[in-house]
Chains A and B, each alone.
Chain A
Amino acid sequence: MNWMRRIARRARALLFHRAAERELDEELRFHLVMEAEQYEQGGASTADAEWAARRAFGGVERFREDCRDVRGVRVLEDAARDVRYAMRSLRRTPGLTLVAVVTIALGIGANTAIMSAVHSLLFAHLPYPDASQLVEVGVTKAHGMLLTSPTLPMLDAWRERGRSIAAMGYLHAETDTLTLDEPELLRGAAIEPTLPRVLGIQPVLGRTFLPQEATIGAPHVVVIGYGLWQSRFDGRADVLGRVLTINSQPYTVIGVMPRGFDLFLGGLYHWQLWMPLVRDPHATRISAVARLRPGVSSAQANRELNAVIDAVGRGDSSSEGMRANIRTLPELVTSSDRRLLLILAGATGFVVLIACANVANLLLSRAAARQRELAIRTAIGAGRSRLVRQLLTEGALLALLGGAAGLGVAWIAVHLIVAFRPPTQLPQLDRVHLDLATLLWGLGLALGTGLLFALIPALLATRRDVGAPLARGSQRVAGSARTRRVSAWLMAGEVALSVILLAGAGLLVRTAWASAHFDPGFDTRNLVTIDAVLPEQRYRTAAERLLVYQALLERVRRLAGVRAASWTVVTPPSGALMIGDLQIDGRAFAPGEDVRVVMANAISPSYLATMGIRLRGGRLPVTDTSAHEAVINQTFARRYWPGASAIGHRIRMKQTGPWSVIVGIVDDVRGVEESAEGLDLTVYHRFYGSRIYATLIIRTAPQMSGLPRRISAAASVIDPSIRLGGAETVESNVDWGAAYRRFVMALLSAFAVLALALAAVGLYGVISYSVTQRTREIGVRMALGARSTRVVRAIVTQALWLTLAGVGVGLAGAAALTRVIRSMLFGVGPLDPVSFVGAAVLLVVVAVVASALPARRAARVDPVVALRVE
Chain B
Amino acid sequence: MADTGTELLQGTLDLLILKTLASGPMHGWGVSQRIQQLSRDVLHVRQGALYPALHRLEDRGWISAAWGTSENNRRARYYRLTAAGRRRLAHETDSWQRYATAVHWILQST
B15 CB within 8 Å of chain A: no
Which of A28, A69, A72 has the most chain B CB atoms inside 10 A of its CB?
A28
Neighbour of A58 across the interface among B49, B61, B75, CB < 8 A: B49
Partner of B52, one of A26, A30, A63: A63
Determine whether A56 belongs to the interface, using a CB cutoff of 8 Å to chain B. Answer: yes
Taking CB atoms, residues of chain B closer than 8 Å to A34 are 29, 70, 74
A16-71 contacts to B, CB under 8 A, are: 23-24, 26-28, 30-31, 33-35, 37, 56-60, 62-63, 66-67, 69-71
In angstroms, Cα B72 to Cα A491, docked, is: 65
Q: Any chain B CB within 8 A of the CB of A517?
A: no
Complex interface residues of chain B between 24 and 56 (CB less than 8 A to chain A): 27-29, 32, 46-49, 51-52, 55-56
* A70/B75 in contact, CB under 8 A: no
- From known contacts A9-B59, A30-B70, infer whether A62 and B29 are also in contact, taking CB-CB under 8 Å: no
User: What are the residues of chain A within 8 A of B32 when measuring CB–CB?
Assistant: 31
| Residue from the list A30, A59, A70 in contact with B48, Cβ < 8 A | A59
Cross-chain contact of A30 among B56, B59, B76 (Cβ < 8 A): B76
> For the complex, is B86 an interface residue (Cβ under 8 Å from A)?
no
Once bound together, how far apart are the Cα atoms of A31 and B28, in whole Å?
A: 7
In contact, A28 and B59 (Cβ under 8 angstroms): no
> Which B residues touch A71, using CB under 8 A?
55, 59
Residue of B nearest to A72 (CB): B59
Mark each residue of chain A from 637 to 664: 1 if its CB lies under 8 Å from any CB of chain B, else 0: 0000000000000000000000000000
A70 contact from B27, B46, B52, Cβ within 8 A? B52
- Whether A6 sits at the interface, judged by CB under 8 Å, is yes
Q: Which 3 A-B pairs have the closest CB atoms?
A: A66-B52, A63-B48, A58-B48
A231 contacts partner chain B, Cβ-Cβ < 8 Å: no
Nearest Cβ distance between residue B20 and chain A, in whole angstroms?
A: 15
| Chain B neighbourhood of A6, CB < 8 A | 59, 61
A9 CA to B59 CA, complexed, in Å: 8
Q: Roughly how many angstroms separate A35 CA and B56 CA in the complex, as a whole number?
A: 23
A27 touches B28 (CB 8 A): yes
| Cβ B77 vs Cβ A27 within 8 A | yes
| Set of chain B residues within 8 Å of A70, measured between Cβ atoms | 52, 55-56, 59
CA of A9 to CA of B55, assembled, Å: 12
Complex CA distance for A33 and B76, rounded to whole angstroms:
11
Query: Which residues on A sit within 8 Å (CB–CB) of B51?
Result: 24, 27-28, 31, 63, 66-67
Q: Roughly how many angstroms separate A23 CA and B27 CA in the complex, as a whole number?
A: 13
A58-B77 contact, Cβ under 8 Å, with A5-B61, A63-B52, A70-B59: no
Give the most central of A9, A63, A69, A72: most B CB within 10 Å.
A63
A318: interface (CB < 8 Å): no
| Complex contacts, A26 vs chain B, CB 8 Å | 75, 77
Complex CA–CA separation, A63 to B84 (angstroms): 26
Q: Given A67-B52, A70-B56: A30 and B47 within 8 A (CB)?
A: no
Tell me the complex Cα distance, A9–B61, Å: 11
User: What total of chain B residues lie within 8 Å of the partner, measured CB to CB?
Assistant: 22
Smallest CB-CB separation from B47: which chain A residue? A57
Q: Contact between A58 and B47 (Cβ–Cβ < 8 Å)? A: yes
Q: List 20 A-B contacts (CB under 8 A).
A: A9-B59, A24-B51, A27-B28, A27-B51, A27-B76, A30-B74, A30-B76, A31-B47, A34-B29, A34-B74, A58-B46, A58-B48, A62-B48, A63-B49, A63-B51, A63-B52, A70-B52, A70-B55, A71-B55, A71-B59
What residues of B have a CB within 8 angstroms of the CB of A5 in the complex? Answer: 61
Residues of A within 8 A of B55 (CB): 67, 70-71
- A residues less than 8 Å from B48 (CB atoms): 57-60, 62-63
Q: Which partner residue on chain B sits nearest A66 by CB separation?
A: B52
Residues of A within 8 A of B27 (CB): 30
* Complex CA distance for A776 and B42, rounded to whole angstroms: 54
A34 to B72, CA, bound (A): 9
**B-chain residues with CB within 8 Å of residue A35 when the two chains form the complex:** 29, 47
Residue of A nearest to B62 (CB): A2
Closest to A381 in B: B48
A386 CB to nearest chain B CB (Å): 15
Could you say which of B32, B55, B76, B84 has the most chain A C-beta atoms within 10 Å of its C-beta?
A: B55
In the complex, which residues of chain B have a beta carbon less than 8 angstroms from the beta carbon of A67?
51-52, 55
Query: Within 8 Å CB of B52, what residues of A?
Result: 63, 66-67, 69-70
Assembled-state Cα–Cα distance A67/B65 (Å): 14
Contacts of B61 in A (CB 8 A): 2, 5-6
Kindly report which residue of chain B lies nearest to residue A30, judged by CB atoms.
Answer: B76
Instruction: For residue A382, give the distance in angstroms from its CB to the closest CB of chain B.
Output: 15
Interface range, A side: 20 to 34
Give, as a whole number of angstroms, the nearest-CB distance from B63 to chain A.
Answer: 13
Which residues of B are found within 8 Å of A33, using beta-carbon distances? 74
Q: A761 CA to B101 CA in the complex, in Å?
A: 71
Name B72-87 residues within 8 Å CB distance of A: 72, 74-77, 84
Question: A736 CA to B53 CA in the complex, in Å?
Answer: 77
Provide the bound-state CA to CA distance between A559 and B61, in Å: 105
Q: Please indicate the chain B residues that have their CB under 8 angstroms from the CB of A72 in the complex.
A: 59
Which of A6, A27, A69 neighbours the largest number of chain B CB atoms within 10 Å of its CB?
A: A27
A688 to B: closest C-beta gap in Å: 97
Q: How far is the CA of A35 from the CA of B46 in the complex (A)?
A: 13
What A residues does B59 contact at CB under 8 A? 6, 9, 70-72
A62–B47 alpha-carbon span in the complex (Å): 12
Chain B positions within 8 Å of A66 at CB level: 49, 51-52
* CB nearest neighbor in A for B76: A30
Minimum CB–CB distance from B55 to chain A (whole Å) comes to 4
Q: A57 CA to B50 CA in the complex, in Å?
A: 9
Residue from the list A2, A30, A60, A62 in contact with B77, Cβ < 8 A = A30
Bound-state CA distance A41–B78 (Å) is: 24
**Chain B proximity of A214: nearest CB distance (Å):** 80
CA distance A567 to B36 in the complex (A): 111
A378 to chain B, nearest CB (A): 14
- Residues on A with C-beta less than 8 A from B77 are 23, 26-27, 30
1/0 per residue, CB under 8 A from B, across A534-545: the answer is 000000000000
- In the complex, A106 Cα to B7 Cα: how many Å? 57
Q: Mark A783-796, 1 if CB is under 8 A from B, else 0.
A: 00000000000000
Contacts of B72 in A (CB 8 A): 37
Max chain A CB contacts within 10 Å: which of B48, B72, B76? B48
- Neighbouring A residues of B70 by C-beta, 8 Å: 30, 34
CA of A827 to CA of B50, assembled, Å: 80
Extra pairs beyond A2-B61, A56-B47 (6, CB < 8 Å)? A5-B61, A26-B75, A27-B77, A35-B29, A57-B46, A63-B49
Residue of A nearest to B61 (CB): A2
CA distance A658 to B27 in the complex (A): 114
CA distance A58 to B2 in the complex (A): 12
Shortest Cβ gap from B59 to chain A (Å): 6
Q: How many angstroms from the CA of A31 to the CA of B32 in the assembled complex?
A: 9
> Nearest chain A CB to B1's CB is how many angstroms away?
9
A56 to B41, CA, bound (A): 14
A27 to B30, CA, bound (A): 12
| Residue numbers in B under 8 Å from A30 (CB-CB) | 27-29, 70, 74-77
Complex: A596 Cα to B88 Cα, angstroms: 92
Instruction: Quote the shortest CB–CB distance from A72 to chain B (angstroms).
Output: 8
Q: Which residues of B contact A28 (CB under 8 A)?
A: 51
Name the residue in B27, B49, B51, B72 with the highest tally of chain A Cβ atoms < 10 Å from its Cβ. Answer: B51
Interchain CA distance A573-B28 in the complex, whole Å: 93
Contacts of B84 in A (CB 8 A): 2
B109 CB → nearest A CB, Å? 38
CB distance from A69 to the nearest CB of B (A): 7
Q: Of all chain B residues, which has the CB nearest A13? A: B59
- Give the docked Cα–Cα distance between A69 and B72 (Å): 31
CA–CA, A66 and B61, complex, Å: 18
B88 CB to closest chain A CB (Å) equals 12
Chain B residues within an 8 Å CB radius of A2: 60-61, 84
Q: How far is the CA of A164 from the CA of B33 in the complex (A)?
A: 83
A487 CB to closest chain B CB (Å) equals 34
> Closest CB of chain B to A721's CB: distance in Å?
93
Q: With both chains docked as a complex, state the minimum distance between the C-beta of A237 and any C-beta of chain B, in angstroms.
A: 72
Interface centre among A5, A30, A69 (most CB of B within 10 A): A30
